[in-house]
Amino acid sequence: MEKKLGLSALTALVLSSMLGAGVFSLPQNMAAVASPSALLIGWAITGVGILFLAFAMLLLTRIRPDLDGGIFTYAREGFGELIGFCSAWGYWLCAVIANVSYLVIVFSALSFFTDTPELRLFGDGNTWQSIAGASVLLWFVHFLVLRGVQTAAGINLVATLAKLLPLGAFIALAALAFQLDTFRLDFRGLALGIPVWEQVKNTMLITLWVFIGVEGAVVVSARARHKRDVGRATLLAVLSALTVYLLVTLLSLGVVPRSELAGMRNPSMAGLMVNMMGSWGEIVIAAGLIVSVCGAYLSWTIMAAEVPFLAATHKAFPRLFARQNRNNAPSASLWLTNISVQVSLVLIWLTGSDYGTLLT
């Protein structure tokens, strides 16, 4: 397989896969379960842990540069064929479900611009119109990736830069609106009625969730131009994401009191932007959410197709899925992944499930 992805493309792949829909709901999610003091402790613990994980991946790519594909090959090398297969199978299934959830939330966000009390066009992303639109997006990205992972990764780099614009605007405005007295209100969370360490435990479920995708560069390491870039990209992306998450979470608590923030509708970042810049703020965040999720979806499509391909090249999956097209894209694996996503979308429509169902 041609090794064409450079440091910037690999970093964007990891960062985009982590910065999806979750960051836009992070202020409310955190405020609902923890006080400012617990959040500071929770982020400190998670930050140290996730940086250790990033350094571990950095060291693994240097100690064993011959192992491509990370999640599958590390498990196979360390624990044998069965564990390697289970790792690849489980990761692929999770990636498929993640992709379905991204498509659902894109059209749920679009309903902000189209739906009225009298007209339910896209709803919660599970109407027939939403499923039709999601199917178009699904197959557009499918044929984009078939043109080559390098092409898709280049577009993902642009999408990653685009998604950072609304996040950067939010952080800048929140920093200007930040009030220390507001941040210090009920600093230990007495109103929550639970100890600080219990609050810290509650934050950990969220802080770890938002770093899903940290393994992105390792998964596509076979396509890296230089193996040393894989670990560096992971570390750069983790530091960038951690900075964004910290600023979004902590600055929000200085804009409105924790109790008010905890009761906001998600994406709560939209409500905060309305508070800071008026009704246009909601539109900015809704548009940012759509761009962010589309970028994350592209990243996860690349990763979801890569795992069955690598497993097939090591004979853990049927050899059929080791096929590539003339652009060196894992075509058979990509067809398997996206047909599975399409079937899942139809099931979403038939059952009326939404993003919350997929998340849990």
DSSP letter for each residue of 301-348: HHHHHHHHHHHHHTTSS-GGGG---TT---HHHHHHHHHHHHHHHHHH
CA distance 321 to 167: 38
User: Which residues, 6+ apart, have CB-to-CB distance to 131 below 8 Å?
Assistant: 345, 346, 348, 349
Produce one character per residue of 319-347: b if its CB has 16 or more CB atoms within 10 Å, e if not. eebbebeeeebbbbbbbbbbebbbebbee
- pLDDT tens per residue across span 102-151: 888 888 878 777 777 777 887 777 888 989 999 999 999 998 888 877 77
% of the chain exceeding 70 in pLDDT: 97
Per-residue confidence (pLDDT) for residue 359, from 0 to 100: 56
The predicted-structure confidence for 198-249, as pLDDT tens digits, reads as follows 888 888 888 888 888 888 778 777 788 888 888 888 899 999 999 999 999 9
Residue 356: pLDDT above 70?
no
Kindly report the average pLDDT of the chain as a whole number: 85
Residue 254: is its pLDDT beyond 70?
yes
Separation between Cα atoms, residue 97 and residue 345, nearest integer Å: 10
Position 349 scores a pLDDT of 86
Residue type at position 335: W
Please report the pLDDT score of residue 1 as a whole number: 39
Segment 50-60, tens digit of pLDDT: 899 888 888 88
The alpha carbon of 227 is separated from its chain's Cα centroid by a whole number of angstroms, namely 24
Q: How many whole angstroms separate alpha carbon 349 and alpha carbon 321?
A: 29
Cβ contact 113:294 at 8 Å: no
Q: In this structure, which CATH number among 3.90.1150.10, 1.20.1740.10, 3.40.50.720, 2.70.150.10 belongs to the domain 7-359?
A: 1.20.1740.10
CA distances from 242 to 2, 98, 113, 359 (A): 31, 21, 31, 22
| Single-letter residue type at 31 | A
Cα–Cα distance measured from residue 211 to residue 28, given in angstroms and rounded to the nearest whole number: 18
CA-based nearest residue to 333, from 135, 100, 91: 91
pTM: predicted TM-score of the whole model, two decimal places: 0.84
Q: Please write down the long-range contacts of 126-133, taking CB distance under 8 Å and 24 or more positions apart.
A: 126/348, 126/349, 126/352, 126/353, 126/354, 127/349, 128/349, 130/104, 130/349, 131/345, 131/346, 131/348, 131/349, 133/107
What token pair was written down for 300? 């996860």
Instruction: Tell me 328's DSSP state.
Output: -
Q: What is the pLDDT of residues 314-326, one digit of tens each?
A: 888 888 898 988 8
CA distance 136 to 289: 19
Question: CA 39, CA 172: separation in Å to the nearest integer?
Answer: 20
Nearest Cα to 271, choosing from 261, 248, 114, 249? 261
Residue pair 123/115 in contact (Cβ under 8 Å)? The answer is yes
DSSP secondary structure code for residue 5 in this structure? B
Instruction: Map residue 254 onto helix, strand or coil.
Output: coil
Write the pLDDT tens digit of every residue in 283-326: 888 888 888 888 888 888 988 888 899 888 888 888 889 898 88
Average pLDDT rounded to a whole number, residues 174-178 = 92
pLDDT confidence bin for 21, thresholds 50/70/90:
confident
For the chain, the domains span 7-359
